[in-house]
Structure 1
Amino acid sequence: MAEAATRYAVVTGANKGIGLEICRQLAANGVRVVLTARDEKRGLEALESLKGSGLSNLVFHQLDVGDPASISSIADFIKAQFGKLDILTTLSEATAKMENLLLLFYVRKEGPRFTGEKYVRNIEIEELIAFIVYLITIDAMSAILRGDRFTSCCNGCLKAGREYFLRNGGPLNSWKVNNAGIGGTVVTDPDALRSRIASAEAVGKVNWKEIMIEPFELVEECLKINYYGPKRMIEAFIPLLQLSDSPRIVNVSSSMGKLQLHSKDALIESTEQNIFNIKNEWAKAVLSDAENLTEERVDEVLNQFLKDFKEGLLEAKSWPSNLSAYTVSKAALNAYTRILARKYPTLCINCVCPGFVKTDLNYNSGILTIEEGAESPVRLALLPDGGPSGQFFVRKEVSEF
C-alpha cells in the first residue's frame, strides 16, 4: 500500500492556549504543522515545548496577521518548503479572552447563582462561583490597569468575587500579568479605577463609561486583526490550498458574532436585553443573506459600523453596546466563511466557536479543557472528503449564523 502523502498545516496565533493545542493535536495526527506567532521568542518557546513532548513534525515561522508583508513572507515560505498547503487554521489572540468575558456579563445580568446553575452545573456552592468570577475578572482588570487594549469587565461579578474574599480573608490585590488580546478598549483614568476597585462598597457603583473608552483607532485595529487579518491570510494561501487534494480552512470564531441566538447556545441566550447581539436590522439582513452576500457587502457593514461608531451612534443604530468591535468583527468573519465556501466549492471551509475553555487567561476557570476546546477546530481540519462546508459550528454541532 502506498504511503499517505504528508499533509501541511498553518496555524495562526499558536504560541499558547487553544492555538498551541491545535498544533499539538494536528501534529499527533501526522500533519506537518507550521506554528506561527507574532512574538518570535514566544513562538520558538512554544515550538520547543511541543518537541519536548515527543512531537517532531513542527516548524515555526513568525507571523503578524496585521502586516501584509509578514503574510507574504510566510506564504512564500510555505510555497518554497512544501509546494502546497492542506490546512489553514486562523485564530485570533483575542478570541478565548472575549469568550471568557462573555460569562462575566451574564453574571452581571442574572447573578452568580443563575450563571452557576446554567453554565457551571457541577458547582453548587455560590461562593465558589463568586470565587471563579473573581479570578476571571482579576485577569481582565490586570490588563486594564496596565493600559492594554482590552474590554470593560463586569462590576457586578467583581463585587461578588470581592465580597467572597472579604468574608474569607483572601488576597485582594493579586493582579496577575497576562497579555491582552485585541479587544478595542482602554482605561483613560487608571488611578480612578484603582481607587474604586480598592473600595468594595463602591465597586457596584462604578460608572465604567467615565473610566474606560473605546478609542476609534483601537476599534479599527480590532477589525484589522480579527477580520481583515484572517481574510488576507486566506487570500494569500488560496493558490496553495488549491494544490491540495483535501484543502481545509478553519476560522476559529465566536458565538458572539452570531446573528441568531438561541437558548441552546453555549454562552449566549436570546433575550431582549442581550448586550452582544447585533440588533441593527440592516446589518443583520445583509450578513444573513447568504445568496447575495459578497465581500463588498461585508465591507459596507464594517464601514457603516465604523461611521456610526465615530459619530457616537452605536446605541441609536442598534449596534452592540459592549465589545462592539469584537462582536462585529466575528460576525464579519462568519459571513466571509460563507462567501468563501460558495466561491471555492472544492475547498472545505468552516468556522467554529470552540466554547468556554480553561486557559491561563482565566485561571483555568473555563468549562472545557484546552484539549476539548481544540478538538472542534481539529475535527474540522481533518474532515474527510465530502464533509460539510460553509457552516458555523458551536463546538461539534452545526449552528445557525
Structure 2
Amino acid sequence: MEGAISSGPNPRIAVVTGGNKGIGFEVCRQLASHGVAVVLTARDEPRGAEAVEKLRALGLAQVIFHQLDVTDTSSIATLFVFLKTRFGKLDILVNNAAIGGLLVHAGLNKLICRCAQQFAGMDFDQMLEWMVKNVREPVDSAKKGVQTNYYGTKHVTEAVLPLLQSSSEGRIVNVSSLFGLLRLISNEEVRQELNDIDNLTEERLDELLDRFLRDFEADALEARGWPMGCSAYKVAKAAMNAYSRLLSRRHPALRVNCVHPGYVKTGITMNSGVLTPEEGARNVVKVALAPEGGPTGKFFAEDEEASFV
C-alpha cells in the first residue's frame, strides 16, 4: 500500500509499530490528523492494510502500510530499506508494539465478551488485581514477552537510528507502563542497577534479563526479588525504560522519552482499562509532537512527567 504520501511540502514522517489496533491505531490517526505522514506497521499484513483503509476512509490520505514483525530481523531490515529509499529520513518513531506475555484462563475471553458489565463498579486497583488473578504466565510466554517488548523495541530503534539522525528533529517515543516502574522490583541490587544510568550498559541489561529468565524457569522469581504477576511484562518494560535513558544520553540530539498512556481498554488489559484507546493515544501523541528542544530521557505518566522509580 504505497504511493499515498504526496511529494509536496515535506511532511514529518512517523513510523508506528503495532499500528493496526488499539493505542497504536489511534496514535496513527491522531498523528495523521496533525499533518504527519504515517507509516502504519503491523505484523499481520491483511489487518494492517485494513487499518490503513479505515484511516483513509476518514480522509487521512497521508497514511501507508508496511509489514513489520519486531521480532524478525529480516522484517526490520526490509522496513529500513523501504524508509531509506522512500523518504531518506525518519522524524518520529513510536514503539508501540507489545504483547502481554500471558495466557488467559480457559473460557475467560468468552465470559468477558458475553458480559459488558464485567468490570462495572471496580476501581483501578481492583481491575488490575482481577486481571492478574485470571491469567497465567508460562515460561515460553515470558520469553516471548521479553523478546517482543524489550528486544523488539531495541532492534527496531537501532535499525532506524541513522534515519532519525537525518531528521532535524528526530524523536523516539517508547510506549511504557506503570508496570515498568522500578518500585515493583523488590531486589534492591537490580533496582539500583537499572536506575544507575551513569554506569549501566546495554550488555548489563542483557545479563539482567538473562538472569530473570533463568530465575523464572527455576521458579525463583519471588525468592530473587523479581515482580510477581505479569512478571515478564514488568521486567521488559523496566529494561526498555532503562534502555531509553541510555539512548537519550548516547544521542543527545534526539528526543527519546517513555510514555505510560494510562490504563487503557485494549487486548493486553483484556479491556479492563479505564481509558479509551483514543484517550491513551492522546498522551503518546502529545510527547511525540512536543516542541523542538523539549525534554529527553524522561518518563511521562499519562499527561505528566514522572519518576522511573
TM range (shorter): 0.7 to 0.9
- The letter of the residue matching 2:274 is I
Q: Tell me how far 1:383 sits from its aligned partner.
A: 1.4
Q: Deviations over 1:54-73 (max 9, x none)?
A: 11000000110010000000
2:73 is the alignment partner of 1:68: yes
Q: TM-score, normalised by structure 1?
A: 0.66
Shift of 1:321: 2.0
Amino acid at match of 2:81: D
Residues 1:279 and 1:39: Cα distance change in structure 2 (over 3 Å)? same
CA contact (8 A) 2:172 2:257 kept: yes
Contact 1:11 1:35 in 2 (8 A): yes
2:30 equivalent among 4, 16, 25: 25
Q: Distance in 1 between matches of 2:18 and 2:288?
A: 16
Q: Percent identity?
A: 51
Bigger Rg over Cα: 1
Counterpart in 1 of 2:157?
Answer: 234
Q: Residues 135 and 363 of structure 1 are in contact (CA less than 8 Å); yes or no, is this contact kept in structure 2?
A: no
Cα distance in 2 for partners of 1:386, 1:339 equals 18
Report what 2:178 is aligned to.
255
In 2, Cα distance between the equivalents of 1:28 and 1:11? 14
One-letter amino acid of the structure 2 residue matched with residue 302 of structure 1: L
The alpha-carbon deviation at position 310 of structure 1 amounts to: 2.1
CA 1:398–1:133 in 2, change beyond 3 Å: closer, same or farther? closer
- How much is the aligned-residue C-alpha RMSD, in angstroms? 2.8
Report the counterpart of residue 91 of structure 2 in structure 1. 86
Q: Secondary structure at the match of 1:251?
A: strand
Aligned partner of 1:154 in structure 2 is 133
Instruction: Give 3-state SS (helix, strand or coil) of 2:233's partner.
Output: helix
1:294: Cα distance to partner? 1.4
Q: Are 1:42 and 2:47 counterparts? A: yes
| CA deviation vs aligned residue, 1:158-197 (integer Å, no higher than 9, x gap) | xxxxxxxxxxxxxxxxxxxxxxxxxxx7xxxxxxxxxxxx
Do the aligned residues in 2 keep the contact of 1:338 with 1:391 (CA within 8 Å)?
yes
Where 1:351 maps in the other structure, the secondary structure is strand
Aligned to 2:259: 352
TM-score by length of 2: 0.85
1:171-320, aligned counterparts within 5 Å? 212=136, 214-260=137-183, 277-320=184-227
Structure-2 residue corresponding to 1:366: 273
How big is the shift at 1:363?
Answer: 7.7
Question: Is the CA contact (8 Å cut-off) linking 1:135 and 1:362 kept in structure 2?
Answer: no
Q: Is the 8 A contact 2:93 2:172 kept in 1?
A: yes
- Equivalent in the alignment of 1:58: 63
- How many residue pairs match? The answer is 287
Equivalent pair of 2:132/2:229 in contact (CA under 8 Å): no
Gap runs ≥5 in structure 1? 99-126, 141-151, 156-184, 186-211, 261-276
Q: Distance in 1 between matches of 2:125 and 2:188?
A: 33
1:109-148 map, 5 Å:
128-129=120-121
The Cα offsets for residues 360-393 of structure 1, whole Å up to 9 and x where unpaired, read as: 7768653222221111111111111110000011
In the alignment, the residues of structure 2 paired with residue 338 and residue 361 of structure 1 have an alpha-carbon distance, to the nearest angstrom, of 25
Q: CA separation in 2, counterparts of 1:295 and 1:60?
A: 31
- Asked whether the 8 Å contact 1:252–1:354 carries over to 2, the reply is yes
